[in-house]
Amino acid sequence: PKPPAAGPPPAASEVVGGSSGSGGLYDFLDDEATTSRELPPSREEPKVAVVVDLSRPLGIFFDAALVAQAVQPGSQAETLGVRKGWKALIVGTDAVDLTEHLVAKVQALKAKGEGTLTMTFAPKQLSVVFDERPFGFAVRFEAARGVCVIASAKPVAEGRGVEVGMSLAAAGDRDLHGLSEEEVTAILLQAPLPLHLSLVDPIPQPRGEVKRGSLNNEDGVDEPARKAART
C-alpha cells in the first residue's frame, strides 16, 4: 500500500488515464527567450513547417533569439497554428538563430518577388513534476504522429500548464515517443513519484487517422488502472 503522504504538495494533481506581410511582417520584443516552463530542445524535438504569405503580416512578436513572445489573435501565424514560446529555426532552407538573420532573409526573398516562404519552428516544451496521483489528465494515441497526447485535463493539471493537445515526450528518463496508449498509461501509473513529465505544445493536426482512446469514463482511467493507482 502507498505510505501516507507527508502532506498535500503545492498544486497536488489528479491522475493520468487512458483516452477518455509586407514591410512590418515581423515584430520584435527584447524580453528573455525562456521561462521556467520551457525546456531546451530534446533529441526528439518535433519541428513544424508552415508556409507564410509574404504579402501579409505574420503577426508574431519575436525576441532577439527568435522565440515568439506573442502571437496576435486572428493573425496569419495564429491561423497557421504557431503559438507563443515557439522558436523559429529555419527560413526557407537556411538555419537562423537571430532575429536579424530572419529579417534579412525575408527582405531578400521579397526583393526577388517571392510570394511565399516556408518557416520551420520548434514548439515550446513544458516541464512539470507530479508529486501524487491522480494527475488530472487523460491521454489518447495519435497514429498520424505516433505520439500520445492530452485528451482532457482537469483544473489541477491545467493549473500546471498542461493543455489538451499537448504531446507526452518523456516520463522521467523514459522516452515516450512511439509508445502506444496502453504502454504510456502503464508507465504513468507505475512510475515512482515524484514524476517529471516533459510535454510538447499542441501542433497543427496532420492529415491521417487519429486513433481515439478506448477509455471514456470521467477521469480517463479504467477500473484496473484506477485500482493500480491506489496501491
Query: Does position 21 have pLDDT exceeding 70, yes or no?
Result: no
Q: What is the pLDDT of residue 205?
A: 57
Q: How far, in Å, CA of 87 to CA of 124, rounded?
A: 7
Share of the chain above pLDDT 90, in %: 63
Provide the pLDDT confidence category of residue 217 given band limits of 50, 70 and 90. very low
CA dihedral 79, 82, 88, 89 (to 10 degrees): -90
Provide the pLDDT confidence category of residue 203 given band limits of 50, 70 and 90. confident
For the stretch 137-182, pLDDT in tens is 999 999 988 999 999 999 999 999 999 999 999 999 999 999 999 9
For the stretch 35-77, pLDDT in tens is 233 334 444 568 899 999 999 999 999 999 999 999 999 999 9
Give the mean model confidence (pLDDT) for residues 185-211.
78
Q: What is the pLDDT of residue 145?
A: 85
Q: What is the pLDDT of residue 144?
A: 86
Q: What is the pLDDT of residue 116?
A: 94
Q: What is the pLDDT of residue 44?
A: 53
Alpha helices in the chain (DSSP H): 76-80, 99-111, 155-158, 181-190, 223-230
| Residue 178: CB atoms within 10 Å | 11
Q: Beta 27-28 vs 60-62: how paired, if at all?
A: parallel
